Amino acid sequence: MANRQERIKMIIDKNIRDILLKESKNSNIGFITVSNVDVSSDYSYVKVYVSFYFNHEENFNKLLKIKGLVRSLLAKKIKLRRAPEIEFILDRGFATEDKITDLLKKEEEELENMKNN
């Protein structure tokens, strides 16, 4: 049973990634990355963790507008009794990483200024 569940998770994951890469171009969504996909044990719910290179909130709102389209396209590509409900979750990992990098750069610049003075 675990093998079947893992196989279906991989199929859903691959198809959602393909759909988002193709549909995001048509929906004017910026550069999108799918960081993880979680599927419920009965395959009725899918959590898709996404991140964007820039304009996180704006692009996430655009993505939410095409959620129904993504679900219908997924239903056509997979052979399950019922298409799973999709929940998109904004993964803020990259944004947090950028903030930390900026803080470290500022700190480094301040140290350099202190050494030079």
pTM for this prediction: 0.73
CB 37 within 8 A of CB 55: no
Fold classification of 2-91 (topology level): GMP Synthetase; Chain A, domain 3 (3.30.300)
Q: Sort strands 32-39 and 45-52 into parallel, antiparallel or unpaired.
A: antiparallel
The single residue listed with the structure tokens 């304009």 is 55
Would you give the distance in Å from CA 113 to the centre of its chain?
39
pLDDT attached to residue 94: 65
pLDDT attached to residue 26: 65
> Which residues lie closer than 8 Å to 53 by C-beta, 6 or more apart?
30, 31, 33, 94
* Residue numbers in the chain where pLDDT is lower than 70: 1-2, 24-26, 94-96, 98
pLDDT attached to residue 102: 80
